[in-house]
Structure 1
Amino acid sequence: MNVNYVRYGALYFAAMVVLAGVSVMMTRVLGFGFPSGAASIIPPMAAALFEGQQAGRAGARPSGRALWAVAFAMTGVAVLINGAIAAIFLSMAETRALLSQVPLRYFTGIAALLIAAVLLVNRFFFGIGLKSGLAKGTK
């Protein structure tokens, strides 16, 4: 099965940028922002769904173990992207001052929960996209 992780990363990042823009617009127009939980889940959902459709159209029929391997690799891409963004923000003194008020174990726990959520979203939405792509490919 051939999964394009660069395309997954590009779609993931594009979805993050679009959701950030939507959140800013919502804050200015409606007075409240986009829910952060949804902003954490929608980018991997969209990217995994698209990649699953592409793999399905190519005729891939992976086992459950292969689906989990793809999900772990996709989650690694997401962690790398978010790590790069975090490194940029941590280079700012204001961000470091704000984060110094939060105990590291809380920050680490939240990050671990988000990574686990992204893993599950990648696994299940890649599978949904795969089924969709297989159905479209056979017609």
Structure 2
Amino acid sequence: MHVNLIRYGLLWMAASVAMLLLGLLLAQFGVEMPAGLATVLPPMFASVLEGMRIAQATRAPLSGKAAWVNAAAMTGVVAVLTVVQLPLYWNNPVVVEARQTVPILFLTGVCVLLLAVILMVNRLFLGHGIKLGLKRLQE
């Protein structure tokens, strides 16, 4: 069973927009969200929901290899959606400053590291979502 990548992408985008709006709202009160939260929470949310859907459809856990394949595909969706969003924030003053002051090789390394973190989050929470879904089915 494979993850519905379109639904995963939509869930990820919805969670990302919600994080953005929450960050703007909190900024009005002088509160800042941790930077890593916006990287980890959207794939966490989308992976759990997709895992629960897989559990409903298959009524069995995924094998380790299938779970990794699905997590890698979900990470690919995040990478593609991030590239699609790039023009939206390319001229943001913070991004412009980073592009001008930080070497491109270092920025590339950070992006690869973030994708590795997202892969791990996807794999961990896909399995967690499947377990939650199976537990819900047993009740």
TM-score, normalized by length of structure 1? 0.91
Q: CA contact under 8 A between 2:2 and 2:70: conserved in structure 1?
A: no
- Structure 2 runs not aligned, ≥5 long: none
Q: Deviations over 1:58-94 (max 9, x none)?
A: 124321000000000000001111111113333x385
Q: Is residue 41 of structure 1 aligned with residue 37 of structure 2?
A: no
Q: Deviations over 1:83-112 (max 9, x none)?
A: 11113333x385774212221122111111
Q: How big is the shift at 1:2?
A: 3.6
Quick one: distance in 2 between partners of 1:93 and 1:61?
A: 43
Structure 1 runs of 4+ with >6 Å offset: none
Quick one: distance in 1 between partners of 2:34 and 2:92?
A: 26
Q: CA contact under 8 A between 1:89 and 1:95: conserved in structure 2?
A: no
CA RMSD after TM alignment: 1.6
Amino-acid identity (%)? 36
TM-score, normalized by length of structure 2? 0.91
Quick one: distance in 2 between partners of 1:35 and 1:96?
A: 18
Quick one: distance in 1 between partners of 2:119 and 2:54?
A: 18
Quick one: distance in 2 between partners of 1:94 and 1:50?
A: 35
Residue of structure 2 equivalent to 1:27: 27
- Structure 1 runs not aligned, ≥5 long: none
Q: What is the aligned residue count? A: 137
